[in-house]
Structures are given as structure tokens and as C-alpha cells.
Amino acid sequence: MSQRMVVVGSQWGDEGKGKITDYFATRADMVVRYQGGNNAGHTVMFDGNKYSLQSIPSGIFNPATVNVMGNGMVVNPESVVAELQKLHDRGITDYKLFISNRAAMVMPWHIMLDGAYERRKGDAQIGTTQKGIGPAYSDKYSRTGLRIGDLLEPDYFRERLEAALDVKNIELKSLGLEPLDVEEVYNRYMELARQIGPMITDTSDLINEALESDAKVLFEGAQGMMLCIDHGTYPFVTSSSPSAASVPVGAGIAPKWIDTVVGVAKAYCTRVGAGPFPTEIDGELAHEIRERGHEYGTVTGRPRRVGWLDAVVARYTSRLAGITQWAIMLLDVLSGLDKIKICVAYDLDGKEITTPPSTIATLARCKPVYIELDGWKEDISGIRDFDRLPENAKAYIRKIEELTKTPVGMISVGPDRSQTIIVDPALNRF
């Protein structure tokens, strides 16, 4: 069995990756984040305690695990320091954390611009988390960005900062925002550098050393495949690709290392922020699922939109991310429903299609084609063995496998680490 596992979100984020990563992180030698930033909200629960992480990898609770924030991330040092402080306040003080010297750095103007761009879009807002993620990635790719490693070379950092602000201040002013003062930003970032400086290193080297010595390495994706900058519901997406295909570039390793890819999918679907969502449901049923599943954003607290499981999306993301096993989350939330629907195709102007169209204009015209399965009444939150699940719950899982041509490796029936059913015993050998 694999010594390298990638955990990817397969829907619109918030699938429960935090729980799955945490489940395997307890045995991993290393946990690596390879994309995104503090726009992610990973909830981890164990021993009755609930923790929320944004940019720090989920292996942080295990003192023996090496946690890595990879070069593919956009890292806000302010947020790293605040997250660490929160962990310290709750007694989590013994951990190993490293940050890539090549990771793009979120600067104050990114956050200001994220807000300003959104406000100017009016009704067409993406509904970003306002953490500056898009503007930070834009600067990275336009080669005007600063990187985490720059903090270790103060003169170079200052040079890059002056060059960036020379242009950014013009943009800030043109949008009616206050320009930033070089001195102030410099001093604040140098202060942050004192706090995170010892964690900054060449993490690609660190990860490759671990891989070469056969360590157990877990790659933790953020967001979900339908928020992928390339394959998601563009432009209502995030600015990176959560796919397992991003791991080699975002961690600085060769593709040959990737074998097991656990695709995390809720037993239904949710989405925060705007954008088309073909299987969205509303009214009493949506309310019931939202309340039972505690479907409110970890980062922003926004109520999540709720819908039926979309097998068109699941098949699409399974292929794109190379998902080898599903982790089906929150199956317990569906207990008690008379009927459960699964979307198996889209009706586009009278024609059935089985892959999502490339534009949201066309996606908005797609009507879900459903099959309906019988529900189950039993409380399943205490079940730990697949065979003990109600027949209709088993049938639901088998239908997901059939429709997506991807086996289900594990099922989550509650938020706690222990509320997990391992279907594929091979996963337990990670």
C-alpha cells in the first residue's frame, strides 16, 4: 500500500478534507499543503475538541508529524502567526512546521484589492473569502510578487517591496483606497519574519528526502475540484488547482511519487459563494440538511447552499484528479429522508450531457436528470462496519461507485475521528 497519499476535495470545497487528512495525519510522517492559502477552512475534531485551521496543515496536532506549507501555496505570514497563536492558546505547542521559501506571499494590498474588485463587480461578485488569494496568485504569475524566502534577505525584500508598491499604490489610489507606506509594511513584515523565520526553508528538498527514505507523506488539498482555476466553474472558482495533478509542482516533487488519491465527497453537495450549482435545492429540505450537516462556512460563517449529489461532477472530478478511492462524508446527515436523489446527467436544451460544459452561461441552462433511491431511517452515526449499514445506505454507496466508476474507500458518519467506516482495508495500511 501507498506511502504517499493525496487528499483532494471533489466538489466545491468544504467536503470534510480536514477530518480525512487528520485521520491519516495521525500516522503520517509528513503532511504537505500544496496550493491555496488561508481561504481554506479545515475543521478537525477529536477527543470532543473542535479546531479550525486555515493555512496550517492538518498534521499540526501530532508532535511527531512534519508539517509543510509548500511552494504552490500563497502564504499570509500574518495569518500563520495568528493561527499558531490560537493553537498555542489551546495548548497545542509541540509541533513541527516548515514554510517553503518559494511560496508566494500575501501582502496587505492583495487583501485590499480582493475586496475592491469584489465591490466593483456588484451583482457579479464571486463571493471570495477576501483573503487576497486571487490578487496574490495574479502577482505571482505576473512576476511582481514577493515570496516567503524574501523575508530572510531584508535588503532584497525591501527592493521587491518598493518596486511592487510603486505600481500597487497607483492602483489602490485609482480604486479610492489609501496607498500603503513602504516603511510601515517593511517593519511589520520584518517583525513577522522574526516569528516565522526559523520555519522558512527549501521544503521541496525536505519532502524529497522524506519520499526517498520511504516516509509516509500525505498531501492535503484545499478547496474542491469544481473550484479549480482550470476545470471548475470559471470564473466562480478559486485561483489555484486543488487537483492531485498540482501536487508535483506545488510541492516540488516528481509526478512518479503520486499513487493513492482519496477524493473527498459529501453524500450530498454544498457550495459557498456565487456560481451555478445544478443540483441546488431550497426550502424546508435544504434547511433541514443545512442544520443537520452544520453547513456554515468555517472561514466566513456564511450559510452554505445545499444540493443533491451530482454524479456528473463526481465522475468528472474523479477522472481529472485521478481519484483512486472516494471518502464519502456526512452520510449520517441523509438518515431519515424518504427518498434520496442523485443527478446522473444534465438536460441541456433537450439533449442529455454527462460532462459539465465549459461556460457558466451554458451550465446555468443545464437541468439535473435524477434517479431516486429509497432512504433509510436508522441512526448510522455509531456504525463502524460497512456490513452493518442499513441496506438502502449500502445501495446508495454502491450506486455512487457504479456511476463514478470509482470505489468507495471510506465513509464518514459523524464529525469525530472515530466515526469512520473503512471500506477498503488497504487504506488502513497507510
Catalytic residues: 14, 42
* Position 62 contacts ligand IMP (CB under 6 A): no
d(CA 250, CA 404): 27
* Position 41 contacts ligand IMP (CB under 6 A): yes
d(CA 316, CA 322): 10
d(CA 304, CA 281): 11
d(CA 299, CA 296): 9
Q: In whole angstroms, how close is the CB of 34 to ligand IMP at the nearest point?
A: 14
Q: How many CB atoms lie within 10 A of CB 384?
A: 12
The torsion defined by the Cα of 349, 354, 360 and 364, in degrees rounded to 10, comes to 40
Cβ closest to ligand IMP, residue 242 vs residue 368 = 242
Query: Alpha carbon 30 to chain centroid distance?
Result: 18
Closest of 78, 84, 85 to residue 96, by C-alpha: 84
Q: In whole angstroms, how close is the CB of 383 to ligand IMP at the nearest point?
A: 28
d(CA 27, CA 229): 31
Residues in CB range of 157: below 8 A, 6 or more apart: 146, 150, 151, 186, 189, 190
Binding segment (CB under 6 A) for ligand IMP, from list 64-72, 94-102, 120-128, 285-293: 120-128
Q: In whole angstroms, how close is the CB of 333 to ligand IMP at the nearest point?
A: 17
Task: Kindly state the DSSP code that residue 32 receives in the 8-state scheme.
Answer: E
**Sole binder of ligand IMP in the list 115, 127, 197, 248 (CB under 6 A):** 127
* Position 233 contacts ligand IMP (CB under 6 A): no
* Residue whose entry in the numeric block shows the C-alpha cell 475521528: 417
Q: In whole angstroms, how close is the CB of 87 to ligand IMP at the nearest point?
A: 19
* Position 112 contacts ligand IMP (CB under 6 A): no
* Position 223 contacts ligand IMP (CB under 6 A): yes
CB 105 within 8 A of CB 148: yes
Question: Among residue numbers 145 through 184, which ones bind ligand IMP (CB under 6 A)?
Answer: none
Q: Nearest 5 degrees, angle CA 246-CA 251-CA 256? A: 70
**Residue 338 in 3-state DSSP?**
coil
Q: In whole angstroms, how close is the CB of 117 to ligand IMP at the nearest point?
A: 10
Cβ closest to ligand IMP, residue 189 vs residue 236 = 236
Residues in CB range of 89: below 8 A, 6 or more apart: none
Cβ closest to ligand IMP, residue 7 vs residue 344 = 7
* Position 204 contacts ligand IMP (CB under 6 A): no
Task: Kindly state the DSSP code that residue 72 receives in the 8-state scheme.
Answer: T
Cβ closest to ligand IMP, residue 110 vs residue 160 = 110
Q: In whole angstroms, how close is the CB of 152 to ligand IMP at the nearest point?
A: 27
* Position 207 contacts ligand IMP (CB under 6 A): no
* Position 131 contacts ligand IMP (CB under 6 A): yes
Question: Among residue numbers 235 through 264, which ones bind ligand IMP (CB under 6 A)?
Answer: 236, 238-239
Closest of 219, 321, 208 to residue 6, by C-alpha: 219
Question: Among residue numbers 265 through 304, which ones bind ligand IMP (CB under 6 A)?
Answer: 272-273
**Sole binder of ligand IMP in the list 6, 14, 66, 140 (CB under 6 A):** 14
**Residue 218 in 3-state DSSP?**
strand
* Position 227 contacts ligand IMP (CB under 6 A): yes
**Sole binder of ligand IMP in the list 38, 129, 203, 412 (CB under 6 A):** 129
Bridge partner list, 410: 327, 422
d(CA 15, CA 43): 10
Cβ closest to ligand IMP, residue 2 vs residue 39 = 39
Binding segment (CB under 6 A) for ligand IMP, from list 45-53, 104-112, 221-229, 258-266: 221-229
Binding segment (CB under 6 A) for ligand IMP, from list 130-138, 175-183, 332-340, 411-419: 130-138
Task: Kindly state the DSSP code that residue 414 receives in the 8-state scheme.
Answer: S
Q: How many residues bind ligand IMP (CB under 6 A)?
A: 20
Q: What are the Cα distances from residue 96, in Å, to 18, 32, 49, 66, 140?
A: 18, 12, 21, 5, 27
**Sole binder of ligand IMP in the list 35, 76, 128, 204 (CB under 6 A):** 128
Q: In whole angstroms, how close is the CB of 131 to ligand IMP at the nearest point?
A: 5
Sequence letter at residue 243: S
Cβ closest to ligand IMP, residue 42 vs residue 216 = 42
Sequence letter at residue 25: A
Which residues contact ligand IMP (rule: CB under 6 A)?
A: 13-14, 39-41, 126-129, 131, 133-134, 222-223, 227, 236, 238-239, 272-273
